[in-house]
Amino acid sequence: MLAFSDVAAVFEEIEKRSGRLEMTDVLATLLKRADKGEIGKLVYIIQGILAPPYEGIDLGMGERFAIEAIASASGYTKAQVESSYKKSGDLGDTVEELFGKRKQTALSTSEMDVGYVYDAMLKIAKASGTGSQEQKIKYLVEVLNNSNPLEARYIVRFVIGSLRLGVGDPTILDALSVAKSGDRSLREPLERAYNVCADMGYVARMFYDKPESISGFHVQPFKPLMPALAERENTPKAITERLGKCAVEMKYDGFRLQCHKKGDKVELYSRKLEKMTSMFPDLVAEMKKVKAKEIIFEGEALAFDKQKDRYFPFQQTMHRRRKHGIEAASKEYPLDLFVFDILYLEGKDMTNEPYEKRRGEVERLFKGPVLLPSGMKMVKSAGELSKQFKDALAKGLEGIIAKDLSAPYTAGKRKFAWIKLKKSYGKAVDTIDAVVVGYYLGQGARAEFEFGGILAAVYNPERGRLETVARIGSGFSEDEMKSFKENLEKIKTKQAPGLLDYNVEPDFWVEPKYVVEIAFDDITKSPMHTCGLKEGKGYALRFPRLVRLRTDKAMKEITTTEEVVDMYELQRSRSA
């Protein structure tokens, strides 16, 4: 059994390292020591979660409550804990320090193993209803009473959602491979398995049970896949040069849904892989009519404006993502789902089949009225593609997605299997999705709202880090400014997000939670930002402006550093 004190010691070791290879090796030595029953739980803990997103298990413990628990377990007063926290800026460091000079010796200090700590956290997460905060505090005190100072540091960081080991999913996958085979040779099948079930704990359990079976891992209903992502190009010509004859699909501006069905059971997942089934009874009823017993398919949902006889814009469609008033909303904003892919059919994993074959099944199974095939035309030349693109814009759509006829479904990856061409925003050729990491106070006319804009970051999956790319002060209406500031205030933090690398500091840091779509004129290099930082300069957006909030996108889905670098290169080749 793996003692949690050993886990904590390795976490401390990892925090001191910065190179990915080094981190992988240290992590692998830890993973090697876990047994079959522990590995899944250990992997979740390293990821800073208790379960994959679609399980809906959130620790939900605010700093305030964690402070109460620390006070109770350490024998210090709440005010003393708070004042120490003010100095350290990190609640994990605070609890470690206070436990080091603990006034009250713990009643029982039995050694905790990984399973015990995981189960305790799960108990904290699952406490709900009236009095649940007191329950959560009580459970946390119990664990802390059994913890040494270093263990307490990581337990507290975990429960407040800021474990920030700086270990990204790619590193965990590498480390799993190294732990079992001594090298990275199993990284690829492990990554594929993770991409088709989005559950690293589950993959790790399967892998430890039968390492050789990982290559045969396949798609299963009710284990959502990581969505395939689209690359971008700026011209029809660049697309046809890459793909030759290809399928051009309309790019609908709604929200993406992954639909799973087996017999009578149906589930819907968002692109963040949260379960959305209860929000869309209208779509569930239609899914039950689909002539397939077992199927996973994907589509973009749009709300239809009967009065104007056309689809609503994105903001209105988003009214359907709600927890209350579902019945009324489904009448006001009836949804159509444009199905664009099939990933599993009657027991068969379809992800390795070529697009053409999958598309054939889409057209066979979805004929409307509510579940419709996405609009598609085959094109052979840049001229034909350009015509489709113009048609899409004339219909009020965002653009097109060109699809490689022979490509498999690339779960969780941005590949040239799909290439998007989007309408431009003023001078901008494209937009990026970034996460808000901080905000500024206003000056002059804006001081009234005390909001001066936001600091936004992109994700570097190789390093498992967030890197800043822009400070955005325009594009906000007054109403937007007000409500945005209110929302950001609720997630203010004393310190920069643990995953963030930065050179500039906003007036306030916030949890990396809100994803925003940003338009810009071009990309430059600047010492202010850390995106792709090399020789003191990072990549930065010039004249960035807010397009909209993307509540449907997850932090992990934002634009990557590599994409920003690619866009920079694209822009250089255009101006050359």
Catalytic residue numbers read 251
Q: Which of 11, 65, 202, 252 binds ligand AMP (CB under 6 A)?
A: 252
C-beta of 230 vs 546, nearer to ligand AMP: 230
Residues in 43-102 that interact with ligand AMP by CB under 6 A: none
Q: Which stretch binds ligand AMP (CB under 6 A): 30-38, 97-105, 132-140, 244-252?
A: 244-252
Q: Which stretch binds ligand AMP (CB under 6 A): 42-50, 249-257, 365-373, 474-482?
A: 249-257
How far apart are alpha carbons 458 and 469 in whole angstroms?
Answer: 7
C-beta of 440 vs 568, nearer to ligand AMP: 568
Closest contact distance (angstroms) between CB of 374 and ligand AMP is 4
Q: In a 10 Å sphere around its CB, with 0-12 CB exposed, 13-18 middle and 19+ buried, how is residue 232 labelled?
A: buried
Contact 459, 229 (CB under 8 A): no
Q: How far is CA 550 from CA 298, 315, 318, 344, 566, in A?
A: 19, 10, 10, 28, 22
Residues in 389-418 that interact with ligand AMP by CB under 6 A: 401
Q: In a 10 Å sphere around its CB, with 0-12 CB exposed, 13-18 middle and 19+ buried, how is residue 284 labelled?
A: middle
Q: Which stretch binds ligand AMP (CB under 6 A): 28-36, 78-86, 251-259, 379-387?
A: 251-259
Q: Which stretch binds ligand AMP (CB under 6 A): 85-93, 120-128, 214-222, 250-258?
A: 250-258
48 Cβ neighbours under 8 A, 6+ residues apart: 158, 161, 162, 163, 164, 165
Closest contact distance (angstroms) between CB of 347 and ligand AMP is 25
- SS3 of the chain: helix, strand, coil, percent, to 5: 45, 25, 35
- Residue 256 lies near ligand AMP (rule: CB under 6 A): yes
Query: What is the CB neighbour count within 10 angstroms for residue 219?
Result: 22
Strands 255-262 and 294-305: antiparallel
C-beta of 178 vs 421, nearer to ligand AMP: 421
C-beta of 41 vs 272, nearer to ligand AMP: 272
Q: Which of 43, 61, 226, 230 binds ligand AMP (CB under 6 A)?
A: 230
C-beta of 250 vs 343, nearer to ligand AMP: 250
C-beta of 202 vs 340, nearer to ligand AMP: 340
The count of C-alpha atoms lying within 13 angstroms of the C-alpha of 104, restricted to the half-sphere facing its C-beta, is: 16
Q: In a 10 Å sphere around its CB, with 0-12 CB exposed, 13-18 middle and 19+ buried, how is residue 445 labelled?
A: exposed
With vertex at residue 142, the alpha carbon angle to CA 139 and CA 144, rounded to the nearest 5 degrees, is 110
Instruction: Report CA torsion sign: 196, 198, 199, 204.
Output: positive
The count of C-alpha atoms lying within 13 angstroms of the C-alpha of 162, restricted to the half-sphere facing its C-beta, is: 23
Q: Which stretch binds ligand AMP (CB under 6 A): 141-149, 180-188, 245-253, 527-535?
A: 245-253
Closest contact distance (angstroms) between CB of 422 and ligand AMP is 6
How far apart are alpha carbons 373 and 402 in whole angstroms?
Answer: 15
Q: Which of 24, 195, 374, 388 binds ligand AMP (CB under 6 A)?
A: 374
Closest contact distance (angstroms) between CB of 516 and ligand AMP is 13
Closest contact distance (angstroms) between CB of 227 and ligand AMP is 6
Contact 249, 355 (CB under 8 A): no
Tracing tokens 């939900």 back to the chain, one arrives at: 60
Strands 545-549 and 492-493: unpaired
C-beta of 31 vs 419, nearer to ligand AMP: 419
- Residue 340 lies near ligand AMP (rule: CB under 6 A): yes
Quick check: helix, strand or coil at residue 478?
helix
Q: Which of 41, 251, 485, 529 binds ligand AMP (CB under 6 A)?
A: 251
- Residue 297 lies near ligand AMP (rule: CB under 6 A): no
Closest contact distance (angstroms) between CB of 437 and ligand AMP is 20
Closest contact distance (angstroms) between CB of 157 and ligand AMP is 32
Closest contact distance (angstroms) between CB of 499 and ligand AMP is 22
- Residue 300 lies near ligand AMP (rule: CB under 6 A): yes
How far apart are alpha carbons 259 and 296 in whole angstroms?
Answer: 6
C-beta of 146 vs 559, nearer to ligand AMP: 559
Q: Which of 169, 191, 249, 282 binds ligand AMP (CB under 6 A)?
A: 249
How far apart are alpha carbons 519 and 429 in whole angstroms?
Answer: 8
How far apart are alpha carbons 499 and 461 in whole angstroms?
Answer: 11
- Residue 204 lies near ligand AMP (rule: CB under 6 A): no
Closest contact distance (angstroms) between CB of 306 and ligand AMP is 22
287 Cβ neighbours under 8 A, 6+ residues apart: 259, 261, 266, 268, 371
Q: Which stretch binds ligand AMP (CB under 6 A): 243-251, 276-284, 310-318, 449-457?
A: 243-251
Quick check: helix, strand or coil at residue 29?
helix
Which residues lie across from 300 on neighbouring strands?
256, 338
Q: In a 10 Å sphere around its CB, with 0-12 CB exposed, 13-18 middle and 19+ buried, how is residue 467 labelled?
A: buried
Closest contact distance (angstroms) between CB of 557 and ligand AMP is 8
Per-residue burial over 65-92, b = 16 or more CB atoms within 10 Å of its CB, e = otherwise:
bbbbbbbbbbebeeebbbebbeeeebbb
- Residue 420 lies near ligand AMP (rule: CB under 6 A): yes
- Residue 358 lies near ligand AMP (rule: CB under 6 A): no
How far apart are alpha carbons 259 and 487 in whole angstroms?
Answer: 31
- Residue 485 lies near ligand AMP (rule: CB under 6 A): no
Closest contact distance (angstroms) between CB of 300 and ligand AMP is 4
C-beta of 254 vs 464, nearer to ligand AMP: 254
C-beta of 338 vs 568, nearer to ligand AMP: 338
Q: Which residues here bind ligand AMP, judged by CB under 6 A?
A: 227, 230, 249-252, 256, 271, 300, 340, 374, 401, 420
